[in-house]
Amino acid sequence: MEIIVQKYGGSSVADTTRIKSVAKRIKEKVNTGEAVVVVVSAMGDSTDKLLGLAHSVAKNPDARELDLLLSTGEMISCSLIAMALQEIDIDAISMDGAQAGIRTDEAFGEASIISLDPSHILKQLASGKVVIVAGFQGVTEDLSTTTLGRGASDLTAVALAASLKATCCEVYTDVEGIYTADPRMVTNASKISEIGYEEMLELASYGAKMQPRSIELAARYNVPVLVASSTSNAEGTLIHDLSFKNKKDDQMEVRNKVSGVASEKGIARITVRSVPDTPGVAASIFEPLSKAGISVDTIVQNASAERLTDLSFTVSQDDTSNAISIVQKIATSIGAVEVVSDENLGNVSIVGTGMQNGTGFASTMFLALKNADVNIEMITTSQIRITCIVDESRVEDAVIALHDAFELDKG
Amino acid sequence: MEIIVQKYGGSSVADTTRIKSVAKRIKEKVNTGEAVVVVVSAMGDSTDKLLGLAHSVAKNPDARELDLLLSTGEMISCSLIAMALQEIDIDAISMDGAQAGIRTDEAFGEASIISLDPSHILKQLASGKVVIVAGFQGVTEDLSTTTLGRGASDLTAVALAASLKATCCEVYTDVEGIYTADPRMVTNASKISEIGYEEMLELASYGAKMQPRSIELAARYNVPVLVASSTSNAEGTLIHDLSFKNKKDDQMEVRNKVSGVASEKGIARITVRSVPDTPGVAASIFEPLSKAGISVDTIVQNASAERLTDLSFTVSQDDTSNAISIVQKIATSIGAVEVVSDENLGNVSIVGTGMQNGTGFASTMFLALKNADVNIEMITTSQIRITCIVDESRVEDAVIALHDAFELDKG
């Protein structure tokens, strides 16, 4: 039995008209003879509506209660998809997270999948049914409903594909695939036809549409993921293993180019000035931030004279005031001079495999930004990515300049 | 541990303002030191909205899918109540049907409770939490979500009260209790302070507010049920065992009066004329109706000359055309003369224990209807009820006349 997992996002099932057209697309796939499992997100803005209800009864709604509340959004869309399929003579059955066998830990609001028992789904597929699974949710040992975090219907789909040994996980969305840059910023951005997991992970972490955790999971289980449009039939982007061993065309050359430009806004930088450069200082700053649930992104520490150093890191703008007040206390206790912040930053990254082998990438990037009159505030690099923190108002210009410099419009 | 089960209906939790005031009422009960389990219905008209969605994707939505869809309404209200309680410093936890241990058969849309495992609820109560349970739902052996039929949150509440050996099941609604007649018809209707299960069952079956199945269950497990207002503090109606053995005041006299007047509209009568009076004829008519899911209420068969009889029965007006077409076929095959129907009927009943011992009840009833110029179409009786089928347009007048005749305004 060849199994395909399809995932439809919230905009693809925003109303009953779109639900009916999604049902037609599923029927086309079923007619090719494959066994189909479908994962759906909540309809359009229904998750936000449920959040609104929660916040009107409680200032800080309990995470466990919020999970039961939010999980209903996906149950509604998945039962409606099943009905719409039955209406066009396709036998279908819906399942919530519990029935689909998705067992999680108790980290309500951002639970991790502990195990996935696909036996119930396999049984229904074997009887010729299309199985519709409510995305974004699972259950704990004692059957408390959990959610897997925002955007986690992607994760549900990839986890099911891995567990069911599906031939492909198809993620249908309101864009036609992954682009070399955000098409809203760069008019001549081109669609990427295929990309490796690591590159996609860097792109996803820096702005492109796909939940990073789901890419990690796909990479671990080697699940091919196709990102494509839920309304057109245009070819999408295939995310899969591009390493040498997986190559089918015997192409020995290592890919050595920039795949795309990613960007983000809404970043703040916090700098702790003149920190005594002794062991344990970094931990004393970042452990309390982590405990407060503040996600720290880029961290830069400069070497400096006289055993004093400046330590900078970036956080989401929403977390700034909270982070500053935590760091301020620590700064005083460790004898740092002051804590300063800059709240109007963004970032721009180039992503590509083989980047570590060519120093030309960094210099081309910095030159392009200079020519576009974009000042670089901070720089960080990974094996397949170079990121520059820049002024928020300059992000678009930086993306356009980099897209041109690396000739990404040529695909 | 003294356990109280409270149930709040849809109008009591219609919006977040009412949810917050329900939370306050629950808090008052918690502060008396009792362990509290709360069952909630879906918010206001949310069940109808979900039904609307279902019917816009499918002409005849599948019963199983409909159940998963509709069950979300109660999950939403129960998680919101839990949040609202936590907001006012009451530790609370919500549970869907699966977590509450409510196992049902697979009769989607009208499932029966097979077993109820209260261990998870008891554990949470023991840890000092208020437990909020989503009404109206359960799960099958393989964790498919089921619903227990319209109005079945009452059933959930009574089943939990029985299983938890609760001291009382309190049903809060938008009326202050059970009345001697519908207050919208009879302005001087009076509230009944206590009533036995059988009488309440007859009243509930003939129009009063309370799901009949829940009364049956309460009677079987001897669960006292208090019906009261969710907004006022007025004393409600206690439904409990009024038989002699349960009497605490040593009152030997058998209660021998009319408790209330019930009424219904929307009834149609179907008559099969000149049916050969042979064994098996009734079965040949009513079995196909039952298989078609048509609920038949009153059945009357007159003795007649020459082994021919007229057989009449009542159904809901919605089922009339369907019932006629089924019966028409059978009538032809069994040699009946014709099938006729009257679609604009209603009924009016007097209910009270001890009625079988006094013939005066029936004659008082018939005389009162005659004086009010209400023609009686059919009569049926039970041990504690006398029902007359009358013209739909005469129901109000009949109720008023009977309420007066039995002096029910005196309570």
Give bridge partners of residue A338 from the DSSP assignment: A273
* Inter-helix orientation angle B320-334/B281-291, to 10°: 150
pLDDT at site A252 = 45
Give me the sign of the Cα torsion angle A145, A148, A153, A154.
negative
pLDDT at site B370 = 92
CATH of the domain at A131: 3.40.1160.10
Q: Classify residue B156: in a domain, yes or no.
A: yes
Domain of residue B211: give its range.
3-246
Average pLDDT in the A164-174 region? 94
At residue B282, φ and ψ (nearest 5 deg) are: -60, -45
pLDDT at site A286 = 85
Instruction: Give ∠ CA B274-B276-B282 in degrees, rounded to 5.
Output: 100
Average pLDDT in the B90-115 region? 95
| Minimal-distance CA residue of chain A relative to B66 | A79
Residues of A in contact with B57 (CB under 8 A): 16, 19-20, 23, 80, 83-84, 87
Q: Which residues contact B145 (CB under 8 A, 6 or more apart)?
A: A96, B67, B68, B71, B96, B97, B98, B137, B138, B139
Q: Classify residue B257: in a domain, yes or no.
A: no
| Minimal-distance CA residue of chain A relative to B68 | A79
What proportion of chain B, given as a percentage, has pLDDT over 90? 58
Of B299, B290, B136, nearest in space to B213 by CA: B136
pLDDT at site B274 = 84
pLDDT at site A96 = 95
What proportion of chain B, given as a percentage, has pLDDT over 70? 93
pLDDT at site A254 = 44
Min Cα distance A180 → chain B (Å) is 38
pLDDT at site A247 = 47
Residues comprising chain B, all counted: 411
Residues of B in contact with A83 (CB under 8 A): 54, 57-58, 61-62, 65-66, 69
For residues B197 and A252, the model is more confident at B197
Range in A30-34, A241-245, A251-255, B178-182 with the lowest mean pLDDT: A251-255
What's the mean pLDDT when you consider all of chain A? 89
For residue B95, pLDDT beyond 50:
yes
Exposed / middle / buried, residue B23 (Cβ in 10 Å: 0-12, 13-18, 19+): buried
Residues of A in contact with B66 (CB under 8 A): 79, 83
Q: Classify residue A334: in a domain, yes or no.
A: no
pLDDT at site B28 = 95
pLDDT at site A358 = 60
pLDDT at site A170 = 96
Q: Classify residue B376: in a domain, yes or no.
A: no
pLDDT at site B100 = 96
| Minimal-distance CA residue of chain A relative to B81 | A57
From B56, B62, B69, residue closest to A16, measured CB to CB? B56
CB atoms closer than 10 angstroms to residue A254: 10
Instruction: Select the residue from B83, B88, B130 to test the A interface by mutation, using most A Cβ atoms within 10 A.
Output: B83
Q: pTM (2 decimals)?
A: 0.80
What's the mean pLDDT when you consider all of chain B? 89
C-alpha to C-alpha distances, B215 to A55, B183, B198, nearest whole angstrom: 37, 21, 8
Q: Give the integer Cα–Cα distance in Å for A163 and A169.
A: 11
Q: Give the integer Cα–Cα distance in Å for A213 and A179.
A: 19
pLDDT at site A198 = 86
Q: Classify residue B406: in a domain, yes or no.
A: no
Residues of A in contact with B143 (CB under 8 A): 98-99, 120
pLDDT at site B305 = 63
Range in B33-42, B120-129, B187-196 with the lowest mean pLDDT: B187-196
Q: Classify residue A111: in a domain, yes or no.
A: yes
For residue A54, pLDDT beyond 80:
yes
Q: Please indicate whether, in this complex, the C-beta atoms of A19 and B57 are within 8 angstroms of each other.
A: yes
Q: Please indicate whether, in this complex, the C-beta atoms of A53 and B80 are within 8 angstroms of each other.
A: yes
Give me the sign of the Cα torsion angle A212, A214, A219, A223.
negative
List the beta strands (DSSP E) in B158-236.
168-173, 194-195, 225-229
For residues A144 and A352, the model is more confident at A144
Residues of A in contact with B140 (CB under 8 A): none
From B59, B72, B82, residue closest to A75, measured CB to CB? B72
Min Cα distance B117 → chain A (Å) is 13
Min Cα distance B33 → chain A (Å) is 24
pLDDT band with cut points at 50, 70 and 90 for residue A204: confident
| Minimal-distance CA residue of chain A relative to B95 | A144
B140-177 pLDDT, tens digit each: 999 999 999 878 999 999 999 999 999 999 999 888 89
Q: Give the integer Cα–Cα distance in Å for B239 and B260.
A: 14
For residue A362, pLDDT beyond 90:
no
Min Cα distance B44 → chain A (Å) is 14
Range in A40-49, A202-211, A281-290, B183-192 with the lowest mean pLDDT: A202-211
CB atoms closer than 10 angstroms to residue B375: 11
A56-75 pLDDT, tens digit each: 999 999 999 999 999 999 99
Give bridge partners of residue B276 from the DSSP assignment: B308
Structural domains counted in chain B: 1
From B23, B87, B144, residue closest to A59, measured CB to CB? B87
Amino acid B207 reads G
pLDDT band with cut points at 50, 70 and 90 for residue A207: low
Min Cα distance B83 → chain A (Å) is 6
DSSP B281-298: HHHHHHHHHHHTTPPEEE
Average pLDDT in the A220-249 region? 83
Q: Please indicate whether, in this complex, the C-beta atoms of A65 and B82 are within 8 angstroms of each other.
A: yes
Average pLDDT in the A233-262 region? 71
Average pLDDT in the B338-349 region? 92
Residues of B in contact with A53 (CB under 8 A): 16, 76, 80
Range in A161-165, A399-403, B33-37, B199-203 with the lowest mean pLDDT: B199-203
For residue B218, pLDDT beyond 80:
yes
C-alpha to C-alpha distances, B364 to B129, B254, B258, B354, B361, nearest whole angstrom: 54, 20, 11, 15, 5
Average pLDDT in the B182-194 region? 89
